[in-house]
C-alpha cells in the first residue's frame, strides 16, 4: 500500500511489492554470478537471519512485463540509505537519503520483459554526511513502497496546495507542475477539482522536454477547516485533458487550516494549542525501519491512546502512510529533516550541505500537502552554537521559507544559553533532560530556558520542550526505583510533566523522548551507555509493549484542561 487512498485512477499504477532476488555485493553495478536470497519489498535486509548486522551494498533484482510501448516511471518512497537503480542494464537513478522519495523515468520502453536492479548501500563513510554512527539505526534496503507507473508524454509531476484564511474566507494557493517528455511543445488543459468545491481549468503550454508550473489562488467559501476535533479532508483530482479525453491524473488530499505564532502562542486556525506529544523513530524490533501498514496503524492507535495530540518525526521525514494516518486522526505533526547531533566538523563534510539541503527540499515538496504537519524543523542538536553552524541553519530555514510560507519553523537545540540561532526560528525548542542527564528541577529549568530564549532572540516566540525522558529497560522493576527501572522512568516523566503542563507553564508544547525504544549503532564511547544496543527511553519497547510510564503519561495527557473543565461546568 502506497498511500491510504488511490493516487491515480487514470494513470496505470502498480506497487512492486513481493519477494525480490537479493545478494550482497561489493560495488554498485556489480552483477553477481548468482542471486542466492529472496527478500521482501518493502523491507530491510536486517529482517533476514543472515543479514541482521550487515552493513554494505545489497542488490535487489526483479523483472517486470509491459504490454505496450510506453514511458515508465518508478517511484521509490524510501531506500536506505543510498540507492542506485538500473533498468535493463542502464543506470536510471541515484539518490541519497533513506527518508525521502525519488523517481526514475524510462522513455519509450518496448513491450516485453524488463529488469530492475536496485543497489542499496547502508555503509558509513565520508560519502554519507547524514547517516552516521548514531543513537538510532541505519537499516539497509527499500524500507518503503516502490510504485511502477505508465506515464504519457505530458503528465502531472506534482501539485502543491497552500491553504490561507483571508478576510474570513478560506483560500487555496495552487502550484501545479506539468512535465512534457516529448521533443516538441504541447498544449493541454489542466483541471483541478476539489471534492465538489469550485473547480479550476487552465490551459497550459509546456515546451519540449521541460516542465511548466501553473499558479493560481482560489477562494473556497464553503470549505470546512481541518482541526483535531474534526479533521476535514478534501480529495484533489488533478487531470490533464485534450479534446475531451482525460489522459493523465494525480490525486492527493488536503485540509484547510492555518498555523501562526501570533502573540507568542502557537495557533492553529486562530486558536492557541498546547502540543502534547511523543518523539517517534520509525523503528520496530522486528520490522526495523520497514513498517507494515498494521504496524503503522498500531503506532498511531497507541499514540492516540496515550492522549497525545502531536508527534515529532525525530529525526527524519516519515513514511507518508503514517502522515496520512495523522491527517485522518487530526494529530499534529512536527516534521524535521534528517540529522541528529552533528558536530561542526561533521557539518563540514564536503557532502553535508548538498545532502542536507536536498532532504530539506524533498521533505517540504513531497510532504507539504499534509494538513497534519504544522511545524517544519531542521538539524536536531547540531552546531547551532558556532558561526559556521549559524550559516547552515540560516540557509536551511530560508530554504524552507522559500518553499512554504505557511508553516512556522523550528529546530531542537541542546546548547541552552550558548545557542546563537534562536533568532532564526519561529518557535524556540529545547531538548532538556532534567532528572536524567542532570539533577536540575524541571520547573526551574523550564523558566530558565524561557529566560535564555528571551535574551537570545526568541522573545515573543512560542517555546516547546522538544525532548525530555529517561531510560527504562522493559521488565526491569526496582523497589528502590533505580535509574533504568520502569518505576524511575515514571518518576522522572511525572516530575517533568507536572512542571511543563502546570497552569502557569510558559510552554506551547512538550514531546517526550521517546515513543518506542529503538535500535542504535553498535559502537564504543558514549554508545556503550545504550544497553542492549538500544535507546531505551521508550514508553513502549521495540515490540510495542507498554512500560509502566505509559499509564503515567496517559494520566497527564488525558487530564482535562482548565478550559475544558470550565466548558463542562457551564454546560452542566
Footprint (CB under 6 A) of ligand ADA, residues 5-24: none
Q: Is 535 a residue that touches ligand ADA (CB under 6 A)? A: yes
Q: Cis ω on the peptide bond leading into residue 514 (within 30° of 0)?
A: yes
- Shortest distance, CB of residue 498 to ligand ADA, whole angstroms? 21
User: Minimum CB separation from ligand ADA for residue 313, in Å?
Assistant: 12
CA–CA separation, 316 and 380 (whole Å): 10
Rounded Cα distance between 488 and 241, Å, is 63
For the chain, the distance separating the N- and C-terminal CA atoms, rounded to the nearest angstrom, is 46
Q: How many CB atoms lie within 10 A of CB 179?
A: 18
Is 11 or 340 the residue whose CB approaches ligand ADA more closely? 340
| Dihedral angle computed from the Cα positions of residues 14, 16, 19 and 21, in that order, rounded to the nearest 10 degrees | 140
Strands 154-166 and 18-25, by their bridges, are unpaired
Instruction: Give the residue among 442, 423, 538 at the shortest CA–CA distance from 498.
Output: 442
Among the listed residues 180, 318, 356, 431, the single contact to ligand ADA using CB under 6 A: 431
Nearer to ligand ADA, 310 or 535 (CB): 535
Note whether 430 binds ligand ADA by CB under 6 A: no
| All cell numbers assigned to 18 | 513481493
486-500 vs 442-453: helix crossing angle, rounded to 10:
50
Is residue 516 a contact point for ligand ADA (CB under 6 A)? no
Q: Which is nearer to ligand ADA, 192 or 412 (CB)?
A: 412
Which of 452, 471, 468, 393 lies closest to 425, judged by CA?
393
Return the residue of 313, 380, 410, 413 that touches ligand ADA, per CB under 6 A: 380
Q: Which three cell numbers stand for residue 275?
A: 502540543
Can you tell me the distance from the alpha carbon of 162 to that of 33, in angstroms, rounded to the nearest whole number? 51
Choosing from 86, 102, 161, 513, the residue that interacts with ligand ADA (CB under 6 A) is 513
Q: Smallest gap, in angstroms, from Cβ of residue 143 to ligand ADA? A: 19
User: What SS3 state is found at 143?
Assistant: coil
Residue corresponding to grid cell 511502477 = 148
Our CB check for ligand ADA shows the closer of 237 and 340 to be 340
Looking up cell 515514571, which residue turns up? Answer: 490
Distances (CA, A) of 50 to 24, 55, 83, 206: 11, 12, 21, 50
Shortest spacing between CB 380 and ligand ADA, in angstroms: 5
Taking the least distance from each CB to ligand ADA, the nearer of 23 and 380 is 380
| CA–CA separation, 412 and 77 (whole Å) | 26
Give the nearest distance from C-beta 475 to ligand ADA in angstroms. Answer: 19
Does position 77 interact with ligand ADA (CB under 6 A)? The reply is no
Nearer to ligand ADA, 340 or 370 (CB): 340
Q: Which three cell numbers stand for residue 387?
A: 558561526
Cis-peptide into 263, omega within 30 deg: no
- The distance of closest approach from Cβ of residue 29 to ligand ADA in the complex, given in angstroms and rounded to an integer, is 35
Instruction: Give the residue with the Cβ less far from ligand ADA, 72 or 98.
Output: 98
Q: Which is nearer to ligand ADA, 253 or 312 (CB)?
A: 312
**Binders in 20-49 for ligand ADA, by CB under 6 A:** none
Locate 373 and state its grid cell: 504537519
Scan residues 216-275 and list those touching ligand ADA (CB under 6 A).
Answer: none
Applying CB under 6 A, the site for ligand ADA has a residue count of 10
* In the complex, minimum distance from the CB of residue 521 to ligand ADA, in angstroms, rounded to a whole number: 11
232/521 with CB nearer ligand ADA? 521
| 291: nearest Cα among 106, 544, 572 | 544
Closest to ligand ADA by CB, 144 vs 537, is: 537
Of residues 127 through 146, those in contact with ligand ADA by CB under 6 A are: 135
In the complex, least distance from residue 28 CB atom to ligand ADA, rounded to whole angstroms: 30
What is the side-by-side strand order in the sheet with 210-220? 154-166, 169-180, 210-220
Tell me if residue 533 falls in helix, strand or coil. helix
User: Minimum distance between the CB of residue 398 and ligand ADA, rounded to whole angstroms?
Assistant: 23
CA distance readout (Å), 221 to 37, 169, 226, 410: 57, 6, 14, 32
Q: Cβ of residue 474: shortest distance to ligand ADA, in angstroms?
A: 16
In whole angstroms, the minimum distance from the beta carbon of 346 to ligand ADA comes to 14
User: Which CB atom, from 104 or from 472, has the smaller least distance to ligand ADA?
Assistant: 472
Q: Minimum distance from CB of 164 to ligand ADA (Å)?
A: 33
Instruction: Tell whether omega for the bond before 165 is within 30 degrees of 0, i.e. cis.
Output: no
Site for ligand ADA in 457-486 (CB under 6 A): 467
CB of 371 to ligand ADA, least distance (A): 26
Please identify, using beta-carbon distances, which residue of 150 and 381 lies nearer to ligand ADA: 381
List the Cα angle 507/318/60 in 5-degree steps.
Answer: 160
Q: Give the residue at shortest CB distance from ligand ADA.
A: 135
Contact residue for ligand ADA among 46, 335, 381, 486 (CB under 6 A): 381
HSE, side-chain direction, 13 A CA sphere, residue 313:
27
Q: Report the site for ligand ADA in 317-346 (rule: CB under 6 A).
A: 340
DSSP E strands in 3-140: the ranges are: 13-15, 18-25, 37-41, 57-66, 70-76, 82-87, 90-96, 102-109, 112-121
Task: Please list every residue from 389 through 428 that binds ligand ADA, using CB under 6 A.
Answer: 414
> Could you identify the residue written with the cell 524561557?
450
Instruction: Output 258 or 514, the one with its CB closest to ligand ADA.
Output: 514
Interface with ligand ADA by CB under 6 A: which residues? 135, 340, 380-381, 414, 431, 467, 513, 535, 537
Amino acid at each position: 500500500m502506497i498511500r491510504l487512498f488511490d493516487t491515480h485512477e487514470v494513470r496505470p499504477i502498480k506497487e512492486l511489492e513481493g519477494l525480490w532476488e537479493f545478494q550482497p555485493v561489493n560495488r554498485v553495478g556489480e552483477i553477481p554470478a548468482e542471486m542466492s536470497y529472496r527478500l521482501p519489498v518493502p523491507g530491510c535486509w536486517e529482517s533476514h537471519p543472515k543479514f541482521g548486522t550487515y552493513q554494505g551494498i545489497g542488490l535487489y533484482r526483479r523483472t517486470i512485463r509491459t504490454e505496450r510501448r510506453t514511458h515508465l516511471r518508478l517511484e521509490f518512497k524510501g531506500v536506505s540509505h543510498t540507492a542506485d537503480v538500473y533498468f535493463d542494464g542502464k543506470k536510471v537513478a541515484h539518490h541519497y537519503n533513506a527518508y525521502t522519495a525519488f523517481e526514475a523515468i524510462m522513455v519509450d520502453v518496448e513491450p516485453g520483459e524488463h529488469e530492475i536492479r536496485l543497489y542499496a548501500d547502508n555503509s558509513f563513510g565520508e560519502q554519507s554526511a547524514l547517516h552516521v554512527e548514531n543513537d538510532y539505526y541505519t537499516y539497509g534496503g527499500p524500507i518503503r513502497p516502490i510504485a511502477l507507473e505508465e506515464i504519457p508524454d505530458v503528465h502531472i509531476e506534482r501539485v502543491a496546495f497552500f491553504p490561507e484564511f483571508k478576510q474570513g474566507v478560506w483560500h487555496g494557493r495552487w502550484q501545479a507542475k506539468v512535465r512534457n517528455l516529448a521533443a516538441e511543445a504541447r498544449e493541454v488543459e489542466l483541471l483541478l477539482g476539489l471534492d465538489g468545491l469550485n473547480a479550476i481549468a487552465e490551459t497550459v503550454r509546456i515546451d519540449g522536454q521541460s516542465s511548466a508550473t501553473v499558479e493560481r489562488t482560489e477562494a473556497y467559501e464553503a470549505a470546512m477547516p481541518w482541526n483535531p476535533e474534526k479533521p476535514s479532508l478534501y480529495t484533489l483530482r488533478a487531470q490533464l485533458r485534450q479534446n475531451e479525453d482525460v489522459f493523465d491524473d494525480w490525486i492527493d488530499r488536503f485540509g484547510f487550516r492555518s498555523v501562526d505564532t501570533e502573540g507568542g502562542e502557537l495557533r492553529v486556525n486562530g486558536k492557541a494549542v498546547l502540543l502534547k506529544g511523543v518523539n517517534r523513530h520509525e523503528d520496530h524490533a522486528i520490522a526495523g525501519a520497514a513498517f507494515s501498514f498494521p504496524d503503522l496503524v498500531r503506532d498511531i492507535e497507541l499514540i492516540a491512546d496515550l492522549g497525545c495530540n502531536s508527534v515529532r518525526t525525530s529525526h527524519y521525514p516519515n513514511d507518508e502512510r503514517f502522515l496520512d494516518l495523522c491527517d485522518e486522526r487530526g494529530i499534529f505533526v512536527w516534521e524535521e529533516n534528517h540529522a541528529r547531533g552533528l558536530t561542526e566538523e561533521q557539518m563540514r563534510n564536503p557532502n553535508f550541505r548538498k545532502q542536507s539541503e536536498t532532504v530539506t527540499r524533498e521533505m517540504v515538496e513531497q510532504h507539504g500537502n499534509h494538513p497534519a504537519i504544522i511545524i517544519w524543523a531542521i538539524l536536531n542538536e547540531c552546531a547551532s552554537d558556532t558561526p559556521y553552524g549559524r550559516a547552515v541553519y540560516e540557509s536551511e530555514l530560508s530554504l524552507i521559507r522559500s518553499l512554504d510560507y505557511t508553516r512556522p519553523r523550528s529546530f531542537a537545540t541542546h546548547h541552552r544559553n550558548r545557542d546563537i540561532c534562536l533568532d532564526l526560528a519561529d518557535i524556540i525548542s529545547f531538548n532538556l533532560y532534567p532528572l536524567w542527564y542532570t539533577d536540575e528541577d524541571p520547573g526551574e529549568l523550564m523558566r530558565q530556558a524561557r529566560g535564555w530564549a528571551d535574551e537570545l532572540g526568541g522573545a515573543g516566540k512560542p517555546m516547546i520542550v522538544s525532548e525530555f525522558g529517561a531510560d527504562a529497560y522493559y521488565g526491569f522493576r526496582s523497589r528502590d526505583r533505580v535509574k533504568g527501572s520502569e518505576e524511575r522512568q515514571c518518576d522522572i516523566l511525572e516530575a517533568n510533566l507536572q512542571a511543563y503542563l502546570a497552569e502557569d507553564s510558559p510552554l506551547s508544547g512538550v514531546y517526550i523522548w521517546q515513543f518506542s525504544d529503538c535500535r542504535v549503532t553498535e559502537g564504543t564511547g558514549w554508545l556503550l551507555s545504550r544497553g542492549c544496543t538500544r535507546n531505551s527511553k521508550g514508553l513502549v519497547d521495540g515490540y510495542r509493549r507498554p512500560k509502566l510510564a505509559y499509564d503515567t503519561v496517559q494520566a497527564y495527557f488525558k487530564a482535562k484542561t482548565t478550559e475544558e473543565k470550565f466548558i463542562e461546568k457551564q454546560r452542566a
